[in-house]
Amino acid sequence: MLSFRHAAVSDVPAIVRLVESAYRGEASRAGWTTEADLLDGQRTDPGAVAEMLRAPGSTVLLAEEDGGQLVGCCRLERRPDAEVYFGMFSVHPIRQGEGVGRQVLAEAERVARDEWAALTMVMTVIAQRAELIAWYERRGYRRTGETEPFPYGNERYGIPRRADLVFAVLAKPLAHSN
């Protein structure tokens, strides 16, 4: 059973460890969300996570098992026009494929819809990650047709292993109950 809470600054080191384990290096290959074939270097750092926690209209949701073990997280950021950006979605590599990700995504959508009155959830996914995009599509997200450039030259986001990386923009309307 997972419990959810909003992160505090004291959670920054654990969040960075989780995100790095899910996306970078050999340890990330235990799960299926690794970007190790596309990017080297870091996925995030303590400064970036602390900035997210301090930013107005931004939160990091944590998913913990009984006993407080962090197994998943995501960032939510309010945007204009009742839109919420979903990012930094991470599940511990050895817990991937067990439904943790579905639970984190569902809680993020609930917070966006019920607590922030959002009408749409949006995200960016590296376009070359077809299997990940397909996972989101099975959960109701659709490509908008828009793309965003990968931040080449900014090692804070990683060191690209190829020259054609681009982000696909996905969106999902959030149904409101009456």
pLDDT tens profile 160-176: 999 999 999 999 999 86
pLDDT of residue 177: 59
pLDDT at residue 178 greater than cutoff 60: no
What is the pairing mode between strands 120-126 and 83-91? parallel
Q: At what angle do helices 12-23 and 46-54 cross, to 10 degrees?
A: 120
3.30.950.10, 3.40.630.30, 1.10.3720.10, 1.50.10.20: which CATH number matches 2-173? 3.40.630.30
Question: Could you tell me the residue ranges of all domains in the chain?
Answer: 2-173
Residue 136 has pLDDT above 90, yes or no: yes
pTM above 0.85, yes or no: yes
Backbone dihedral angles phi then psi of residue 154, each to the nearest 5 degrees: -110, 95
Rounded to an integer, what distance in angstroms lies between the CA atom of residue 6 and that of residue 92? 18
